[in-house]
Structure 1
Amino acid sequence: MLKSISYIFHPVFMPLLGVLFYFTKSPRFIPQAVIETKLVSLTILTVVLPLLSILLLKMLGKVNSINLPQAKERILPLIIFSIILLIVIKRIITPYDFIELYYFFVAILASTMSTLMLNILNFKSSIHMMAICGVCMFFIGLSIHFSINILMSLAIIFFIMGAVATSRLSLKAHNYPELLIGCATGVIPQLILIPNWL
């Protein structure tokens, strides 16, 4: 059960979760065709491509497991994901169309780069916590920005955050400092960039 939580709420799914939440809660009129195009593009870039990259790195012997248990194993996947995020920011989500999502992805890039630096220094912060905490901060920002009541959504995401943290600890994938640093690397960039679109 705890292992399945780590897979269900894997970091690669979190950016897409933020985008889905945005499209369902935004009071602006967004054509359905635009929504579908963005979702398909983002699914390919932020979910399919990173997973295929990790599998390819495993086949090439660059990583030992898709779970990336060692800090040094995470460096190449994080570099690849950073490049993917740059493509998203430059080509898929622009500040002219969706300023909230643009800064959401800029913050994700900052979080990813921070985590990359930590891994280069051989500190394995929790990418799971980075991802889910960053999305939670984005949810809070949207609730303020659109003046909407999302208490139920926040309750669910806080429950998920607890479940993910418990899962990572129980599987001995991380210790408490690694979880806390992961949470901080997810929250702080979102918190810093939120004023740009509030």
Structure 2
Amino acid sequence: MKDFILKSISFVFHPLIMPLLGVLFYFSKTPRFIPDPVMKAKVFSIVILTIILPVLLFFLLKTINKVDTIYLKSTRERLIPLLINCIIIILILLRVLPPNEILELYYFFLGILCSTLACFILAVFKIKASIHMIAASGFFMFAVALGVHYKININGTIALMMIILGAIATSRLHLNAHTNQELVIGMFTGFFPQFIFLNYWL
């Protein structure tokens, strides 16, 4: 039962869903008026580009033996997926969330791009960072910043995210997917780009 729960945590909080969670969280908390059709179009585009497209590309890479599992266990098999993800995020920044529309989400995804590039560079040098922790800590920093920016009480969200971060770290350690060092590297790789870009929108 314990193994099932910890494996489920890694699956449910997979890095692919974190950008979408960030977008949904923003639209649920922002006091700005954004028409429903615009929100639905943005969410639909994010689902297609950050979840469906990467999953389809994963199966393509698996078919040609470039990756083994969706968790990308080795630094070698991380290179192509991370590079593809960078291209996808650049497309989102150019076409879906340009800075003149929703500035907060633009910098959120710019932070994701920087974290992904950092993870790619680390993988080139055969340094493995936890992508789960990169994605979760990036979302956590963005959520905290939104609470400060709009002066809204998100204490419940912060507490829940801290529990989730702990659960993800425990899950990855239990599954022998990462060492403590790789989890810490992942956490800071996700956290710092979001923190740095606060100067441009907070």
- Post-superposition Cα deviations, 1:7-56, rounded to whole Å, max 9, x if no partner, equal 10000000000000000000011100101000000000011111111111
Matches within 5 A, 1:1-198: 1-198=5-202
| Unpaired segments ≥5 residues, structure 2 | none
* Superposition deviation, residue 172 in structure 1: 0.2
- Post-superposition Cα deviations, 1:139-158, rounded to whole Å, max 9, x if no partner, equal 11101110111000111111
* Superposition deviation, residue 66 in structure 1: 2.0
* Superposition deviation, residue 89 in structure 1: 0.2
Q: TM-score, normalised by structure 1?
A: 0.99
* Superposition deviation, residue 68 in structure 1: 1.2
Partner amino acid, structure 1, of 2:26: Y
Q: TM-score, normalised by structure 2?
A: 0.97
Q: Distance in 1 between matches of 2:58 and 2:128?
A: 17
- Tell me how large the CA RMSD over aligned residues is: 0.6
Sequence identity of aligned pairs in percent? Answer: 49
Q: Distance in 2 between matches of 1:66 and 1:151?
A: 33
Q: Distance in 2 between matches of 1:107 and 1:188?
A: 8
Size of the alignment, in residue pairs? 198
